[in-house]
Structure 1
Amino acid sequence: MHTQTTAPVVIDRREGPYGEVVLRRHGALLQIIANGCFLMDTSDGRSERLLVDAAYEALDGRPRPSLLIGGLGVGFSLAHAAADPRWGRITVVEREQAVVDWHCAGADAPLAELSGRALADPRTEILHTDLLAHLSGADSAAGTTQTYDALCLDIDNGPDWTVTEDNNSLYSPAGLAACQVRLNPGGVLAVWSAKPSSAFDDALRNAGFQSVRTEEIAVARGVPDVVHLGVRAA
């Protein structure tokens, strides 16, 4: 008996300031491809949900903590956070206009089924801007930069496998210092990665983060997905 496989079908393809981004359908799945590199699909979402839950659990029990999600993606992290009434303000930063459109361009938006309820939540705000610019305050008027209780960052495949070269600066000492500035005392930085990185754990410690650790999510094949966690000193 032969199993028929279907070829992926491109739903949308855009050229933007950071290169090409593609949304395609492969069977029942929707997939996001950036510059020819697979980013994510709608198959699971366990590690994206862990990203949010691990950040909440690492907080000190403060009521209604504020959350910044770096990267909208297919919407798993946002949907999971908005489904939890314990979170307060939820801000999502996404630099690709195409990804924002795939969620927000009305009821027919391809990814609206995943994120529609979360986007309608009054706690949710979507910012179309670059994460690094937002963390540094370059996209904000003077004196208006917001701080957060948790930063959940999922903008590429992790510290050792960036999709675009400029993302490397997020994991640099300067990038981690910018994360520290945007965190309230005792706040949590959580970074998703497609594989563990002991070097990034060391970078977090060197940047002054405390209680540095990783949580793993097993995958069907290969090394597990990982969430790197660090806490800003209270």
Structure 2
Amino acid sequence: MTAWYDTPVVLDRREGPCGEVVLRRHGALLQIIANGCFLMDTSDGRSERLLVDAALAALGPRHEPSVLIGGLGVGFSLVHAAANPRWGRITVVEREPAIIDWHRDGPLSELTARALADPRTEIVEADLAAYVHEISTSFDALCLDIDNGPDWTVTEDNKELYRPAGLASCARILTPRGVLAVWSAKPSPDFEETMRNAGFRHVRTEEVPLARGVPDVVHLGVWPG
């Protein structure tokens, strides 16, 4: 017999700019589903923390660097950045208004309320690909976690972000020797090569070991400026 808490319970379901997004509870976990595709849950967060830490380490001893986090998700990256006093301005871009609402007034607020109240934090409702193409503000680090990786995007339009034109938009808003860090559910040698061809230096991949399966990874590159 399956216990009641083993059955996912839908807490909210909405139509967003790119289709259906669902927040559900599965036992102790909160999960986000987009168009039927599992995106993330609150089970771990090690790879999201590595995403932020690896970018900061690659920046070196820079004073209060600014960071743009692409994707609010369940909030692991934001919470980890806000917990570190070394970061200066923290901007999070999220295109799904439902996800922002779940953090501000819904079940995910229990995880991110303190980080959202941090004066360094700004939440921007926007499509990341358009945002990096249009804004005039510069950042020391871009930490992107909007897909399951460069080779497995949530929507078709997101693929452009990992191609030369999208990487050029990312590079445009990076400060000299700024860092691009991209989370992925699996390594992507092709994306590494695309980063190198786009002009990023010191391109490398850091792994996040998992109990089973292929490790999560963070792709890193430094823009020479």
Q: Could you state the TM-score of these two structures normalised by the residue count of structure 2?
A: 0.97
User: Residue 61 of structure 2 corresponds to which residue in structure 1?
Assistant: 61
| 1:139-186 Cα deviation digits (max 9, x unpaired) | x5xxxx210000000001000111110000000100000000010000
Q: Distance in 1 between matches of 2:102 and 2:62?
A: 34
Q: Is 2:175 aligned against 1:184?
A: yes
Q: Distance in 2 between matches of 1:130 and 1:103?
A: 18
User: Residue 72 of structure 1 corresponds to which residue in structure 2?
Assistant: 72
Output aligned runs, 1:1-234, within 5 Å: 4=3, 6-105=6-105, 109-137=106-134, 140=135, 145-234=136-225
Q: Distance in 2 between matches of 1:211 and 1:6?
A: 44
Q: Distance in 2 between matches of 1:3 and 1:36?
A: 23
SS of 1:157's partner is: coil
The answer (yes or no) to whether the contact 1:158–1:193 under 8 Å persists in 2 is yes
The answer (yes or no) to whether the contact 1:60–1:186 under 8 Å persists in 2 is no
Report the RMSD for the aligned CA atoms in angstroms. Answer: 1.1
TM-superposed deviation, 1:60 = 2.9
Counting aligned pairs with the same residue, the percent is 73
Q: Could you state the TM-score of these two structures normalised by the residue count of structure 1?
A: 0.94
Q: 1:3 to 1:218 in 2, by over 3 A?
A: farther
Structure 1 gap segments, 5+ residues each: none
TM-superposed deviation, 1:65 = 0.1
The answer (yes or no) to whether the contact 2:17–2:95 under 8 Å persists in 1 is no
Structure 2 gap segments, 5+ residues each: none
The answer (yes or no) to whether the contact 1:215–1:226 under 8 Å persists in 2 is yes
